[in-house]
Amino acid sequence: MNYEGKRVIVTGGLGFIGSNLVLRLVELGARVTVVDSCVQGCGANPYNIASVADRVEVVKADIGEPDCIAEVLRGVPVVFNLAGEISHIHSMQYPERDLEINTLAQMRFLEACIRLSPGARVVYSGTRQVYGAPQYLPVDELHPVNPIDFNGVHKYAATMYHLMFSRSGDLDAVVLRLTNVYGPRMAMDVPCQGFLSTYIRRTVTGGRLQVFGDGRQLRDPVYVDDVVDALLLAGNEPKLVSREYNVGGPQALPLSEIADICTHTGGMAPPEQREFPPERKQIDIGSYYTDSGRIERELGWTPKVRFADGMAQTVAYYREHMGHYLKPGEPNPECKLGPGTYRLMPA
């Protein structure tokens, strides 16, 4: 990994995946600048990078307002672009907010990259949600795109911006489509960030896990350290063969088994099986697991951490640090949010 002394920007670097990437980049000797707007609901937490805060520059700014980050962006060779909203439910509740954060801000940011750092390698964290309900399994990069919620639509638009600017030669971008990512530094006080954050929070704080439907839906969770490895490889490869890579976990597990592993790790009561709530049923994709063959062949990446081991490490982290992620006695956040809970980005 050739990051020693290299200038690197990580957008969304105070969030879950971004902060884990920042920690690794610092270990590798990179000169890291974090750009994070700290928009409520997107998971920014300064504690995530507290151990390296004296070795990282942090700029609190919105990538949709590129004039605020022009100086740090100028001439940077590598950008890890992890800024954005990940909640599918929130995208359905606040579609214009999701549009601004995941699409318009991305377009403005990439235009600034072209102006200030033409030809920069930009690694964008996409999502498997763009594929929608799978037509076949495992899902490879040739699978049709058919998102079923605003988040998938907007993230796909941002993907196309990255790829279009690469085809024109203005940027050197690559998109990683991530499956369900879990691990230390996930936001525990932000609702609707996916079932794994809910499972982890309840595993640590107590409370019975719930499995919606029959529990046979498959998922392939991927541990955050494995995702960081994939990001670093994509940022380091001098000549990319492809521009889109699926990144999935090492195992396809039924949701019922995922819940059982969590309850076993936490020493909890067995999970409760429930019918899908209507707002979740409409964006459920059924079973999904990833064909990561392309990134293995071309970049040499494979996931290493099996779910039971990754969950044990994750729970151990939160048992030691939960006070920085969820205040004592604070109720588990729910997805029913009143108007004004989140702000829209300024035009």
Question: pLDDT at position 111, please?
Answer: 97
Q: Look up residue 60 and give its two tokens.
A: 């609190």
- Indicate which CATH number applies to the domain containing 133: 3.40.50.720
**105-116 vs 150-167: helix crossing angle, rounded to 10:** 20
Number of domains, the chain? 1
Longest CA pairwise span in the chain (Å): 56
Neighbours of 333 (CB within 10 A): 19
Residue 57 resides in a domain: yes
Residues of the chain with pLDDT under 50: 336-347
In a domain, 228, yes or no: yes
Residue 306, pLDDT score:
98
pLDDT of residue 341: 42
Task: Examine residue 42 and state whether it is found in any structural domain, yes or no.
Answer: yes
| Site of tokens 């050739």 | 2
Q: What is the pLDDT of residue 273?
A: 83
Residue 343 falls inside a structural domain: no
Q: Is the residue at 67 inside a domain?
A: yes
Q: What is the pTM of this model?
A: 0.93
On whether residue 38 sits in a domain, the answer given is yes
Pairing of strands 253-254, 218-219: antiparallel
Domain containing 106 equals 7-186+222-248+289-304
Per DSSP bridges, beta strands 172-178 and 121-127 are parallel
Domain membership flag for residue 27: yes
Q: What is the DSSP string of 239-266?
A: S-S-SEEEE--S--EEHHHHHHHHHHHH
pLDDT of residue 342: 44
- Segment 244-266, tens digit of pLDDT: 999 999 999 999 999 999 999 99
Helix (H, G, I), strand (E, B) or coil at 223: strand
Q: 202 lies in a domain?
A: no
pLDDT of residue 279: 63
